[in-house]
Amino acid sequence: MLNVLILKCTLVLMDSIWQDKSLDLNLIPYGCIATGHNIGMIETVRDAVTIAAIQKSRGGSAGAFKEDALFDWLKSKCPLQEIHFQTVETFVKSCAGYCVATYVLGIGDRHNDNIMITDKGNLFHIDFGHILGNWKRVLGVNRERVPFVLTPDFLYIMGRVKHRNSLYFDHFQVRQAYLSLRSQSHLLITLFSIMLLTGMRELSSAEDMRYLREVLQEGKSEEQARAHFLEQVHVCIKQGWQVQTNWWIHILMGIK
Interval 90-109: pLDDT, tens: 999 999 999 999 999 999 88
Q: In the structure, what pLDDT confidence band is assigned to residue 41 with cuts at 50, 70 and 90?
A: confident
Residue 194 confidence (pLDDT): 83
The per-residue pLDDT for 196 is: 79
CB atoms near residue 23 (< 10 Å)? 16
Does residue 20 fall inside a structural domain? no
pLDDT at 130: 82
CB atoms within 10 A of CB 231: 11
Look at the chain and report how many structural domains it folds into. 1
pLDDT band at 138 (very low <50, low <70, confident <90, very high): low
Q: Please determine, for residue 34, whether its predicted confidence score (pLDDT) is greater than 70.
A: yes
What single string gives the DSSP state of each residue in 224-239? HHHHHHHHHHHHHHHT
Q: What is the DSSP letter of 244?
A: H
- What pLDDT, on the 0 to 100 scale, is given for residue 2? 60
Give pLDDT, residue 9.
Answer: 83
Task: Please indicate, yes or no, if residue 208 is contained in any of the structural domains.
Answer: yes
Residue 42 domain flag: no
Give the DSSP letter string of 125-192. E----S-TT---EETTEES--SSS---HHHHHHTT--TT---HHHHT-THHHHHHHHHHTHHHHHHHH
Least confident of 5-14, 123-132, 161-170, 197-206: 197-206
Across the range 5-24, mean pLDDT stands at 90
Residue 32 lies in a domain: no
> Is residue 77 within 8 Å of residue 86, measured between CB atoms?
no
Using alpha carbons, list the distances in angstroms from residue 188 to 4, 12, 20, 127.
Answer: 16, 11, 15, 21
Question: Is the pLDDT score of 79 beyond 60?
Answer: yes
Mean pLDDT of the chain: 88
Quick one: pLDDT band at residue 206, thresholds 50, 70, 90? confident
Q: Which of 10-14, 178-182, 219-223, 251-255 has the lowest mean pLDDT?
A: 251-255
Residue 256, exposed/middle/buried by CB under 10 A (0-12, 13-18, 19+)?
exposed
Name the band, by pLDDT with cuts 50, 70 and 90, for residue 36.
confident
pLDDT at 248: 93
Contacts with 213 (C-beta within 8 Å, 6 or more apart), sequence order: 189
pLDDT given for residue 76 in this prediction: 92
255: confidence class by pLDDT, cuts 50, 70, 90: low
pLDDT, residue 124, reads 96
C-beta separation of 131 from 3 below 8 A: yes
Q: Percentage of the chain surpassing pLDDT 70? A: 94
Neighbours of 203 (CB within 10 A): 21
- Among 2-11, 20-29, 53-62, 247-256, the range scoring the smallest mean pLDDT is 2-11
What pLDDT, on a 0 to 100 scale, did the predictor assign at position 132?
A: 87
pLDDT at 253: 82
Domain assignment present for 17:
no
Helix pair 222-238, 174-183: axis angle to 10 deg: 140
* Domain enclosing residue 116, as ranges: 47-253
In a domain, 22, yes or no: no
Is the pLDDT at 75 greater than 80? The verdict is yes
The stretch 46-72 carries a mean pLDDT of 94
pLDDT of residue 29: 87
Average pLDDT over residues 62-91: 90
Is 67 part of a structural domain of the chain? yes
Give how far the C-alpha of residue 204 lies from the chain's centroid of Cα atoms, to the nearest Å: 24
CATH number of 182's domain: 1.10.1070.11
